[in-house]
Amino acid sequence: MLTSPSTRYEHFQTLFPNEPAYRWRQIVTALYTPGWRSWTDVKNLPAAMRQALIDELPWQTLTIDTLQTSAAGDTHKALCRMVDGQKIETVLMANARDQWTICVSSQVGCAMGCVFCATGKLGLTRSLTTDEIADQYRLWRDWLADRPALPQRISNVVFMGMGEPLTNYDAVKDTLTTWLTDTDLGPTHITVSSVGLLPQLEKLLADPTWPSVRLAISLHAADGALRKSIVPTSAPDFLPQLADWAKRFLHAKNKRRNHLTFEYILLAGVNDSPRQAKQLADFVTRIGKIKVNVIPYNTIAAPDLQASATTAITQFKQKLTDCGVVVTQRKTMGDDIAAACGQLAASEQK
């Protein structure tokens, strides 16, 4: 049985080096067929191959280790174990359409070290394989199927769990391609959130096969020194370089479905003043049509950081609106189960 984080495809090729390509397509289709829960269900494969798959290839690469449900019942958070014993978090959240949004991880830990983030405190252990990312969708789909009283459809995915997705570019891209091919998820319902690593952003922009999903760049400050203090991996001249990239991105992808969002976590007394809102608005409007999504801070990762007061959040948003910026606010969910990424894994590591 597979015990190292190689992909199912690599393992399948080792087991069956001479199989025609359609066999692998049959296997991927089987993995995404609702109601099929093991290799035993895949009756269209030869019996000997089915038995080899049962013996050697995990149907699901993730096992739920710990599951927490919020008091409101609208958020479920799983700490999952993978074949090598490493653990990641994935979250299922009810959304406004009476469907579900899942938040997925792309790495075990993260190397970016954002000061407000529990995952950043863990450091990076390894990147996930395509299967380990994609199976987070399959895990929640099957978990819901076992609870028929709940809404069943997963309509949205956000890459806002553990890790920086663009440092795991190929696996994230393969996962997106698989989901867009083998599930009913549409590109406008998937958001890849990145801290904004400029070489990876350039690679994405130059990549004609990068799927047309939404992108969210974590900005958090429109002042270079302040941003560096919040996101330590900020490159010198990050803000002008990001502005230049964003203009080229918007020009190249001039379609609504490619739209770009800047994420801005509001930290009391750090980046939430009206002056900083004006600075942000100036930065955004100089680039073009980019929405700002403000995020109330709700983690316990950094005891010296506090959430902005409700009045400060309201004033900040109003200032942006007055300056012509489209602004939304992320709904905070599951505070009682520490649903922000990395908190469960971090508390277990302690």
Catalytic residue among 89, 132, 164, 263: 89
Closer of 42 and 190 to ligand SF4 (Cβ): 190
Identity of the amino acid at 252: A
Query: H-helix or E-strand containing 93?
Result: strand 87-94
* Among 1, 16, 15, residue whose Cα is nearest residue 61: 1
As a whole number of angstroms, the distance between CA 246 and CA 290 comes to 9
DSSP-derived letter for residue 291 is E
Q: How far is the CB of 276 from ligand SF4 (least distance, A)?
A: 19
Q: State in angstroms the smallest separation of the CB of 346 from ligand SF4.
A: 11
Q: From the CB of 334, what's the least distance to ligand SF4, in Å?
A: 17
CB of 341 to ligand SF4, least distance (A): 6
From 80, 110, 114, 341, active-site residue = 341
Report the residue closest to ligand SF4, judged by CB.
120
57 vs 112 by CB, closer to ligand SF4: 112
Binding residues for ligand SF4, per CB under 6 A? 110, 112-114, 117, 119-120, 162-164, 195, 341
Helix (H, G, I), strand (E, B) or coil at 64: strand
- Give the CA-trace dihedral at 247, 280, 306, 167, to 10 degrees: 10
Long-range Cβ pairs for the range 25-34 (8 Å, 24+): 27/53, 28/178, 28/182, 29/182, 31/59, 31/138, 31/182, 32/138, 32/178, 32/182, 32/183, 34/141, 34/145
Does the active-site annotation cover 89? yes
Match 């379609």 to its residue by tokens: 255
Query: In the annotation, is 114 catalytic?
Result: no
Q: How far apart are CA 14 and CA 99, in angstroms?
A: 39
Q: How far is the CB of 194 from ligand SF4 (least distance, A)?
A: 8
Residue closer to ligand SF4, measured from CB, 60 or 200: 200
Alpha-carbon gap, residue 132 to 162, rounded angstroms = 12
Nearer to ligand SF4, 285 or 332 (CB): 332
CB-nearer residue toward ligand SF4: 58 or 120: 120
- C-alpha to C-alpha distance for 301 and 278, rounded to whole angstroms: 28
Residues with catalytic annotation? 89, 341
